[in-house]
Chain A
Amino acid sequence: MMDRFEKRKPMPKVDNFDYKDIETLQRFLSPQGRIHSRKRTGLNARKQRELKMAIKTARFLALLPYDNR
């Protein structure tokens, strides 16, 4: 578990979110498979929406899990 005061890894800078780029998308997911909030990702609204759509597409194609519990 991450220490309370440990600095988080910065989120990667992505121009276009692609549902096939699983490794990048996984950086924006919590260990449980939930999408991080805008506060955490630092993305603007449009980019966050693109991220959401890419993750949901990848989930439908069984590239990413819906739930990692």
Chain B
Amino acid sequence: MTQETHTYQAMFLLDNQEVRQNGFNAVRDQVKTTLEKHGLNAQVLRLWGERMLAYPVGSRSRATYLLGWLQGSGNSVNEAKKDFYLVGPVFRCMFLRQESVPEKELAYGIEQIEDSAVVIPDEAPEAVEEEPAVEAKPAKAAPKVTAEGEADADEGDADAEEEES
């Protein structure tokens, strides 16, 4: 990693519980503060969407996605990533190096939206599949083959032969 400055596209997955409690703007400011602490200049930070995850991450099934365009060095990105995973509302993030920030994205800037604009539905409880009741079958005891048993069987056979005669 060098100290050269590059442009990065970043996507942050925010914990819905934190967004619901503190509001989207507060959480976004928290992310911005962490980025600035590590020397990353956030040019764009905007809400990308609130959606269901393709697979559960921990106990979460939904997340709020925050899209950002930053400028900074590779070292700063690594340090910021470590910080995000330690504390805060971000539970997953991805930084991708890009050539430049598209003009369409630059128009967003540090987006200020009303907290009520972010609608977070309650996480649906996971459907618990009931397993069909299986009747407990008594385990069959394996027939013991012992010297005595064999002897018993021999005796039994001998008795039967005597009775026949």
Name A residues whose Cβ lies closer than 8 Å to a Cβ of B. 20, 57, 59-66
Q: Could you say which interface size class chain B belongs to?
A: 10 to 19
Name B residues whose Cβ lies closer than 8 Å to a Cβ of A. 11, 13, 48, 51, 53-55, 57, 63, 65, 67, 92, 94, 96
Closest to A63 in B: B54
* Complex Cα–Cα for A29 and B5 (A): 36
Residues of B within 8 A of A59 (CB): 54
Closest to B62 in A: A62
CB distance from B101 to the nearest CB of A (A): 15
Closest to B12 in A: A61
CB distance from A35 to the nearest CB of B (A): 15
Give 26 pairs: A residue, B residue, CB < 8 Å, sorted on A: A20-B11, A20-B48, A20-B67, A57-B94, A57-B96, A59-B54, A60-B92, A60-B94, A61-B11, A61-B13, A61-B65, A61-B92, A61-B94, A62-B13, A62-B53, A62-B54, A62-B55, A62-B57, A62-B63, A62-B92, A63-B51, A63-B54, A64-B54, A65-B54, A65-B55, A66-B55
Closest to B56 in A: A62
Known: A57-B94, A60-B92; 15 extra A-B contacts, CB below 8 A, are A20-B48, A59-B54, A61-B13, A61-B65, A61-B92, A61-B94, A62-B53, A62-B55, A62-B57, A62-B63, A63-B51, A63-B54, A64-B54, A65-B55, A66-B55
* Complex Cα–Cα for A65 and B13 (A): 16
Residues of B within 8 A of A64 (CB): 54
